[in-house]
Amino acid sequence: MNDSISRAANLIASSKHLVAFTGAGISAESGIPTFRGPGGIWDKYDPVVLDIDYFIHHYEQVWPVIKDMFYTVIDRAQPNPAHYTLARWEKEGLLKAIITQNIDNLHQKAGSRNVIEYHGNTRQAVCLDCGRTVPLTKEILAQDVPRCPHCGGRLKPDFVFFGEPIPAEAAQKSLEHTLKSDIYLVIGTTGIIMPASLLPYEAKKNGATIIEINLNPSEYTGRITDIFLQGKAGEILPALDTEIRRIQ
């Protein structure tokens, strides 16, 4: 592993356009359950609750489940060393962008600024009835079934439900950075949910070197990964950071 860490650190240190593509695994050590794998969200909840049509037609039943799935645990979660390492690399001009599938806001809490939220966010909601975008305050989330403070209408969390399109700006910026990238970090993702999961393939096709950090092999590992660093993101990223400082 040390040889792989050293090779990866050299590539990262000399990168021209380093991009990080992150999934639920980067937040696992912050206490946020992943979707798949032991104790995953889909072991406990039926994915249908995140289907947009089901949500709209079962608004009163779904909101309490969504609060239980995400809002309660996200509110308590803090960034871990993996998030902080990426934020530091951005501050130092090394990391150009984070493309995250996560909606937990932990990259921003760690200080990252150029975070492209491919699946939206949990900070705000859109009213399906009056169209306004409202911050999801503690007061609104305290309601059993959150209602729009302006019109009393139904609030849809601003993350991407199954059956909804990826926010256009996020899709466009993600592809731009992906196609400019020479070193592409793929961190904590199974690589099965499209269209997000297609981005590393685009990077690879465009000549990027894929450095993957994951507890277990993913869909990428035997296909496009050039360097596979197996283990916890919260340990491997700080180890890479230490090695980069040693060689610089």
Q: Which is nearer to ligand APR, 34 or 225 (CB)?
A: 34
Q: What is the DSSP letter of 49?
A: G
Which parts of this chain interact with ligand APR (CB under 6 A)? 23-25, 28-29, 34-37, 40, 101, 119, 188-190, 193, 213-216, 218, 232-233
CB of 36: closest distance to ligand APR in angstroms?
4
Identity of the residue, 11 or 236, whose beta carbon is nearer to ligand APR in the bound complex? 236
Task: Give the active site residue among 83, 107, 119, 177.
Answer: 119
Number of Cβ atoms within 10 Å of the Cβ of 49: 18
Give me the least distance between CB of 147 and ligand APR, in Å please.
25
CA dist., res. 91 & res. 84, Å (int): 10
Residue type, 247: I
Residue nearer to ligand APR on the CB measure, 189 or 209: 189
78: left (phi > 0), else alpha (psi -120 to 50), else beta? beta
Q: Please give the residue whose beta carbon sits closest to ligand APR in the complex.
A: 25
Nearest 10 degrees: Cα torsion 222, 85, 79, 177: -60
First to last CA, the chain: 20
CB 69, min distance to ligand APR, A = 11
Q: Is 119 noted as a catalytic residue in this protein?
A: yes
What length does the chain have? Answer: 248
Tokens linked to 102? 């996560």
Residue 148 or 212 having the CB closest to ligand APR: 212
Smallest distance, ligand APR to C-beta of residue 149, A: 27
**Residue 62 vs 213, nearer CB to ligand APR:** 213
Q: How far is the CB of 166 from ligand APR (least distance, A)?
A: 11
Helices (H), 59-147: 59-66, 72-76, 81-91, 106-109, 138-142
Cross-strand partners of 19: 97, 184
CB-count exposure of residue 135 (10 Å: 0-12, 13-18, 19+): exposed
Q: Which residues belong to the active site?
A: 119
